[in-house]
Chain A
Amino acid sequence: MMISLKEMWAAIWPSFRHKDDEHLNTYYTFHDYRQLWGMGIFVLMATALLPLVVMTFIYYQLLEQSINSESLLRTERVTSNARRAVTYFLEERLAALTFTVNEMSYDRLTNPEHLRDVLSNLKLGFGGLTDLSVIADDGTQVAYAGPFNLEGKNYSDQPWFQTCKQHGACVSEIFSGYRDVPHMVVAVKSLYPDESPYSDGRFFILRATLETERLIQMLASYRTGEHADIFLVNHAGVLQTPSRYYTGASNRVTLSLPSYAERTHAMMALDAGGRSVVIGYAYIDTKIASTTFILMVVKERAAMMKVWLELRHQINWFLAVSAIIIAVVMTLTSTYMVKKIFHADHEKARTMLMAEQNCRLASIGQLAAGVAHEINNPLALINETAGYVKDLFLIEERYKDDTEMVEHIDSIIDAVERCGTITRQLLGFARHFDVQVQPVNLKRMVDDVLSFHKKEAEYRNIAFHVDIPNSIPLIETDRGKLQQIILNLVNNAFQAIDNGCFLKVWAETDEAEQVRIFIRDNGCGISKDHLNKIFEPFFTTKKEGKGTGLGLSITYGLVQKLHGNITVQSQTGEGTTFVVTLPVHMEKEVQS
């Protein structure tokens, strides 16, 4: 579980470790892989998400617009219908009163019996009337028909009376009046007929009281939806019919009043609670008399457009989910790509480094061979000459006693011999010898090589760990050269370690193509500066005269001849691991 989590994390957040082998750094094409990775994600995300976001934004705009226009349209329609109903309701009654006034004589209207008949007829025909009264031009009630007997009352100070007197007809606001019951008044003015004794321009008024209950019910029938309200207010903002949500102090509406418009209108607004509402309104006017009513329809926008808003909600979800999916996919893609680039770069850098080293070693090898070649002849001459002088000393009688001279000559010959060894090894490093391919059992060979050191290991208390599994196949290669390679590396390790350390040799194989042999010691290690020089001829950290510095360069040459390669990993103070990679099947080399 832990491992899979780690792997998942690694798939998303890559770690580019190339700092550990700094001499490879010059060969990297990109230095900042993390930046490359970030850029990759950014570019991919931008191209993938930008159109999505823009599309959603446009869609939002369109949706917003259509929600608004649809809300306005719907509200306007409702308002318009309600207005027509209210107007019709009032006009119908005004018309009935006008008809009555024109048809009946003043005498008949003022007769209470007759007036009661008229009221009951009007109730039958139109309904919604409570009472009927005739009022003289001085405001006194002349005749009354209805449930309340208010005969002799004076209405001259009532606002509706004034309006009616001026305009010939009126529709009052809804008020409580003497009865303390909300009601409204419609009234029409009529002049006395010509033949009547009052026909000198005087008038009387026929007044009817209307039940507001009926108007309220009618308005309520237009109310649809949850948060919807429909009511009447007067021009001063006082509620005429009850409002569900917008009743404020002293029965005033809590909305600001819309400005006058002849036709029905709808608009967007915010109510006192801060919610977005659509307000439809209409100033009510009848043909016969003007009124102070404003019809208002208020609907909450959100509730009204529930379906649309749900759709928007779904779009939000869709956008969020797809953005997350895109982000994850893009991150994974970018990580994968940059990892590929990184690994390719890493491989390339290693190959380049190796090629550079090969090249350098090849030219050094040529130089060394040339030098060795040229030095060998004079060396041979020195050897023979010194030998001859020594012969003279030993063979001729006359110098026989001078033993010091012989010692000097011996030291010359010794020096020449040492030089001879070096030139021979140098030539060996540069030259291509024939390779004898034969199957080699690696385990047996390593055991053989280590057995040379058994005594010394015991003496120095050095532990061997050999782990060469049986899965390692027989390697077809040159036995002698492989033996020398292992011997050189083991010798090398032996010289690097102190008493009581260990030497580990193990091997692994991959798909029967290559075998890697690891030779590890926990000795003094190789410093970073030295690490890429150790295969060069004459490079040695040993004291002068102790080593020729040719051991590893010869080993290198030998590994090359076996078509393999050799690498080294080392940490100062912790030890060194040489890795020799060899092909399992080596084609017999053609002599160059």
Chain B
Amino acid sequence: MKHYDLLIVDDEQRYADMLAKRLGLRGLNCRICYDGRSAIDLVGEAAFSVIILDLQLPDLYGTEVLERIKARRPDNVVIILTGHGTEKDKQACMASGAHAFMNKPLDIDRLLTIMDRLKTRLV
């Protein structure tokens, strides 16, 4: 199992925690934040190999967060994970540089596969 630094951005705290725990079990180091602004700050402070971003955040909408993250660190890999993203959201996100668009409920193995594929491509 490869070692990634992950950032999970989701306003639903228990979901984010649970996801972090599951990925932790698979040897991934996860950081969690529950709103858009702190996520942007965190990205400013440190580099993450993958950012998992929810679209519906209490302060900022996911697409905006994505754009700001991309503005700071264009090489960051962002995977959108949303409960009810629309086709329009998907197109907007892909246009802004997101690498994948996934729906909740999540199949964790699929997430890992996608991350692996992205990593190999980036490396």
Contact = CB atoms under 8 A, between A and B. Distances in A.
Interface of A: 372-373, 376-377, 379-385, 387-388, 391-392, 395, 416-417, 419-420, 424, 427, 431, 433-434, 591
A385 B12 CA distance: 13
Given A380-B105, A387-B108, A395-B25, A434 B87 contact: yes
A384 B87 CA distance: 24
Given A376-B105, A433-B86, 19 more contacts: A376-B84, A380-B106, A381-B12, A381-B14, A381-B15, A382-B105, A383-B106, A384-B18, A387-B18, A387-B108, A388-B22, A391-B22, A391-B25, A427-B84, A431-B86, A431-B87, A433-B88, A434-B87, A434-B91
6 contacts: A373-B84, A380-B15, A383-B105, A391-B22, A392-B25, A431-B86
Interface residues of B, number: 21
Contacts of A372: 84
A380 to B, nearest CB: 4
A385 B108 CA distance: 12
B86 A379 contact: no
B15 A377 contact: yes
Contacts of A384: 15, 18-19, 22, 105-106
B86 A376 contact: no
B105 A379 contact: yes
A434 B105 contact: no
B22 to A, nearest CB: 5
Interface string B1-45: 000000000001011001101100110000000000000000000
B119 to A, nearest CB: 21
B103 A424 contact: yes
B18 A388 contact: yes
Given A388-B18, A391-B22, A376 B88 contact: no
Closest 5 CB pairs of A and B: A383-B105, A380-B104, A384-B18, A376-B83, A433-B87
A395 to B, nearest CB: 5
A501 B18 CA distance: 52
Contacts of A380: 12, 15, 83, 104-106
A382 B19 CA distance: 11
Given A427-B84, A434-B87, A383 B104 contact: yes
A395 B84 CA distance: 31
Contacts, number: 66
Contact of B105 (A373, A392, A420, A427): A420
Nearest to B105: A383
Interface in B90-121: 91, 103-108
Contact of A376 (B25, B87, B104): B104
Contact of B22 (A373, A387, A431): A387
A381 B106 CA distance: 10
Contacts of A382: 105
A426 to B, nearest CB: 10
Contact of A416 (B84, B88, B103, B105): B105
B21 A388 contact: yes
Contacts of B12: 377, 380-381
Q: Which of A373, A381, A382, A419 has the most CB of B within 10 A?
A: A381
Interface string B63-94: 00000000000000000000110111001000
Contacts of B103: 420, 424
Contact of A377 (B19, B21, B83): B83
Contacts of A419: 105
A385 B26 CA distance: 15
Contacts of B84: 372-373, 376, 427
Contacts of B83: 373, 376-377, 380
Contacts of B21: 388
B36 to A, nearest CB: 18
B95 to A, nearest CB: 13
Given A376-B83, A385-B18, A388-B22, A591 B104 contact: no
Contacts of A433: 86-88
Nearest to A372: B84
A377 B104 contact: yes
Interface in B30-62: none
Nearest to B81: A380
Contact of B18 (A376, A381, A395, A420): A381
A416 to B, nearest CB: 5
B60 to A, nearest CB: 19
A397 to B, nearest CB: 13
Contacts of B87: 431, 433-434
A591 B105 contact: no
Contacts of B105: 376, 379-380, 382-384, 416-417, 419-420
A372 B103 CA distance: 13
Nearest to B109: A387
A259 B10 CA distance: 130
Contacts of B86: 431, 433
Nearest to A381: B15
A26 B26 CA distance: 64
Q: Which of A372, A391, A392, A431 has the most CB of B within 10 A?
A: A391
A538 B60 CA distance: 35
A376 B12 CA distance: 12
A573 B33 CA distance: 60
B92 to A, nearest CB: 11
Contacts of A385: 18
Contacts of A387: 18, 22, 108
Nearest to A417: B105
B33 to A, nearest CB: 17
A424 B106 CA distance: 13
Contacts of B18: 381, 384-385, 387-388
A388 B26 CA distance: 11
B22 A434 contact: no
A337 B14 CA distance: 71
A431 B88 CA distance: 11
A384 B105 CA distance: 8
A434 B88 contact: yes
Contacts of B22: 384, 387-388, 391
A395 B25 CA distance: 7
Contacts of A379: 104-105
A342 B12 CA distance: 60
